[in-house]
Structure 1
Amino acid sequence: MRVLLAHALTPKRRRIARVLAAAGHDVCETDDPVTALGLCRRWEPDVALIHAECCGELVCDIKSDPVAYGTAIIMIERPELSPDAALDGMRRGVQDYLIEPVADGEVLTRVEAASRTKELQHELVAQGARLEALLREDALTGLSNRRAILTQLAGMVSGARRHGHPLSIAVCDIDHFKRVNDRHGHKTGDEVLVAAAHAMGTHLRQEDQLGRLGGEEFLVLLPDTDADAAMHAAERMREEVASAPTPVPVTVSIGIATWEAEEPPEVFLARADEALYAAKDAGRDRVLAATLHDRT
């Protein structure tokens, strides 16, 4: 592992460095706090052994740095270290202490323990990220799932209300999808869903959002998009799906709606959904725009 050794006293620093190097660790030495922080940023050591006389604000600087903060810190302290001072150091980011005089075996065991703790912390963060992805992503297509895309819809409606910007949505449904599953099997059906989702997203802007509502139904959020622009975007999605290299040729019906002032998200979505079913009733493979509900 990579170990940074920041110690103001050269003989002691060299002895500890030799012990760590003999155990196979990659060691970088310094007697300067500024240099130590720079090394934490550039070299990204696993563990930093910092002597109290070489500390200054180094612990706080490391833990507040966006790159260096992950370094595990072990402080080398004098025998008179008080319990209150030790607790204060732990609160500031110190992971462990070595009390002088420092034994060689203790250096190795504490460094190894600090490195393992750091690895466990990183794994916990990674697991949290994976769980967050599972909560937000559709497992098949990798798109936002129903909960996530509806949460995004509510946020965009709030933004449109606050800033007065246009907002449109499109609800897309793959035509006759049940026939695909019945005739070709669910594996082929899944492949069709993935290919169609990819086709729908081909020409979307970075700020647009595409999510899977469930089954063969998708929702597209089109911020800063008026009715005419939404119709154009939906037609391009329809054409992309029709020409996509799906395992079985499919088409898509799309209902679009443009947000009206003070319209709640659920009413906005319902209008787009009604337009979708009107498109299906009209023969499928087409885009229809919603009308405004009479809310008087």
Structure 2
Amino acid sequence: MLAEAGHDVYETDDADEALERCRTWEPAVALIHVEVGDLVCAIKSDPVAYSTAIILIERPGLSPQDALAGMRRGVQDYLIEPVTDGEVLTRVEAASRTKELQYELVAQGARLEALLREDALTGLSNRRAILTQLAGMVSGARRHGHPLSIAVCDIDLFKHVNDRYGHKTGDEVLIAAAHAMGTHLRQEDQLGRLGGEEFLVLLPDTDGDAAMAAAERIRHEVANAPSPVAVTVSIGIATWEEGESPEAFLHRADEALYAAKDAGRDRVLAATLHDRT
């Protein structure tokens, strides 16, 4: 009857086989007789099969207490013997739809999480996300004693691009620059948009010399990127000092960026060391 209604049905009287099928087939619904009720806990404790909705077929006389205890174990619905075809079909349809809704909620949650962390224009980490990653990398550098460098990148004369060519072209330039910046980054490096035309690159396990080389590659890629308007980028780099907070670390890179702008733009300058004694 379920197959005729359009459902793919697999039937077994072996609990171990049923559990394995729930793992490999990942059915929407498992229709289980109370005689193999231990299968409920096995399914709900399995890291793959747990999402299967369970309908338990019970004998007459199910008490409210037993029904509640079963639902706490993971039973979604009950059928009480004698069971009619119409009851089976409607309960299976309802349980299947509930699982679809759960998947939709999970997918929606993932989309919302991405929106919270992703810059809508470039697809990079947004300011909040990249600064959170910075704090985590500083913590890791402090704990393990590994070098850590950052690069703050700012597109030169970007206001002029917007004023002359319009914001649509300005957005296209930002997207092209963002893509160019990520061209030669390693998998462990992180690139995010701080806001406007300013970007932050996190370079773990990278000392000052290596950071300078990486920043020069970024500068070269941006200058040669296929963009609606040719632009350059100024970059300030800093290498983490022992005991330095993420905020102070970023501030030093910002100061180096301002110095690069003052020196004529389209260049990379490294931050000076601060004496905090």
Matching residue's letter, 2:15? P
Q: Structure 1 residue aligned with 2:108, among 123, 127, 134?
A: 127
What corresponds to 1:25 in structure 2?
7
Q: Are 2:52 and 1:62 equivalent residues in the alignment?
A: no
Q: TM (normalized to structure 1)?
A: 0.91
1:242 & 1:92 partners in 2: Cα distance?
Answer: 61
Could you tell me which residue of structure 2 aligns to residue 41 of structure 1?
A: 23
Query: Are 1:154 and 2:174 counterparts?
Result: no
> Secondary structure, in 3 states, of the residue corresponding to 2:10?
strand
The answer to whether the 8 Å contact 1:171/1:217 transfers is yes
1:76 aligned counterpart, secondary structure: strand
Write the distance in 1 (CA, Å) between the matches of 2:192 and 2:6. Answer: 50
Aligned counterparts of 2:183 and 2:177: Cα–Cα separation in 1: 10
Q: Give 1:198 shift.
A: 0.6
Gaps of 5+ in 1: 1-18
Q: Secondary structure at the match of 2:150?
A: strand
Give how far 1:88 is off. Answer: 2.0
Distance (whole Å) between structure 2 residues aligned to residue 100 and residue 41 of structure 1: 28
Q: Choose from 182, 190, 201 the match for 1:220.
A: 201
Q: Supply the distance in 2 between the matched residues of 1:264 and 1:27 (Cα, whole angstroms).
A: 59
Q: Supply the distance in 1 between the matched residues of 2:45 and 2:265 (Cα, whole angstroms).
A: 57
- Aligned residue for 2:266, secondary structure, equals coil
1:289 match: 270
Please report how far the alpha carbon of residue 234 of structure 1 lies from its aligned counterpart in structure 2 after TM superposition: 0.6
Check if 1:173 corresponds to 2:154.
yes
Distance 2:79 2:180 in 1: 59
Q: TM-score normalized by structure 2?
A: 0.97
1-side partners of 2:209 and 2:40: how far apart? 57
For residue 59 of structure 1, give the secondary structure of its aligned residue in structure 2: helix
Residue 222 of structure 2: which of 216, 241, 251 is its match? 241
- Please list, as runs of the form range in 1=range in 2, the aligned pairs for 1:160-199 lying within 5 A after superposition: 160-199=141-180
Match of 1:117, as an amino acid? T
Q: Which residue of 2 aligns with 1:7?
A: none
State how far apart, in whole Å, the 2-side matches of 1:226 and 1:49 are: 60
Q: Deviations over 1:5-51 (max 9, x none)?
A: xxxxxxxxxxxxxx212322221110011111111122221111011
Shift of 1:78: 1.4
Distance in 1 between residues matched to 2:224 and 2:4, nearest whole Å: 64
1:52 aligns with 2:34: yes
Q: Equivalent residue for 2:90?
A: 109
Deviation of residue 126 (structure 1)?
1.2
Compute the displacement of 1:64 (Å).
2.6
Give deviations 1:176-211, integer Å, cap 9, x for gaps.
111111111111110110111011001111111100
Match 1:85 to one of 32, 53, 66? 66
* 1:285 positional shift: 0.7
Q: Give the Å deviation of 1:54.
A: 2.3
Stretches of 4+ aligned residues off by more than 4 angstroms: none
Residue 266 of structure 1 and its aligned partner are, at CA, apart by 0.5
Give distance in 2, aligned partners of 1:199 and 1:65.
Answer: 44
Unpaired segments ≥5 residues, structure 2: none
Work out whether residues 33 and 55 of structure 1, in 8 Å CA contact, stay in contact via their aligned partners in 2.
no
Give me the whole-angstrom Cα distance separating, in 2, the residues matched to 1:96 and 1:179. 64
Q: After TM superposition, give the deviation of residue 159 of structure 1 in Å.
A: 0.9
Aligned to 1:279: 260
Q: Among 244, 248, 251, which residue is 2:232 paired with?
A: 251
Query: Which residue of the partner structure matches residue 10 of structure 1?
Result: none
